[in-house]
Amino acid sequence: MPTHTLTPTLGNARKFYLGTASGGSTTYAWLAGEQNNSVNLNGNAIEVSDKSTIWQEFIAGVRGGTAEVTIYADDEDEQQKALLGALIAGTTVLCFVGVLSNSAPSAGLAFEAVINSISDTNDNGAVSTRTVSLTITGAPTKYPTS
């Protein structure tokens, strides 16, 4: 059986990128001022138990996911303008969370998402931040793909 040696990655290496599709390829741009991000994948368990056992049995149901990113608020930033525009228009955005190599995804998840909310936090004595919450639509692509 093959063995795998764990290679830890610092959280700041796995960034949140917005994608722009053109001519069959996608170009990714980092959300400058990013503070943190998270991606949560989930699957609904469907119970298929019968009376032959006291233990519940399940099969995998539909799957989905969410993502969230917090950035320094910048009303002049083109990426942040694109996020707000997508929320207002009700359109999806292309995203990648992970590590790029030569401007292409090498480790992480690429996905299309609907923006649920954009929240600004403006605490006294602190830098203003903006948190973007998204729902993944369709199946994400895992990198590396093999």
Q: What pLDDT does 123 receive?
A: 95
Six token digits for residue 79: 């990426």
Please check whether residue 34 is in contact with residue 53, taking contact to mean a CB–CB distance below 8 angstroms: no
Please check whether residue 16 is in contact with residue 39, taking contact to mean a CB–CB distance below 8 angstroms: no
Residue 27: name the closest of 105, 125, 140 by CA.
105
Six token digits for residue 88: 């207002």
Please check whether residue 18 is in contact with residue 28, taking contact to mean a CB–CB distance below 8 angstroms: yes
In a 3-state reduction of DSSP, which class is residue 99? Answer: strand
Dump pLDDT digits (tens) for 100-139: 999 899 999 999 999 999 999 999 999 999 999 999 999 9
Q: Is the pTM of this model over 0.85?
A: yes
| 140: confidence class by pLDDT, cuts 50, 70, 90 | very high
Q: What pLDDT does 23 receive?
A: 86
In a 3-state reduction of DSSP, which class is residue 85? Answer: helix
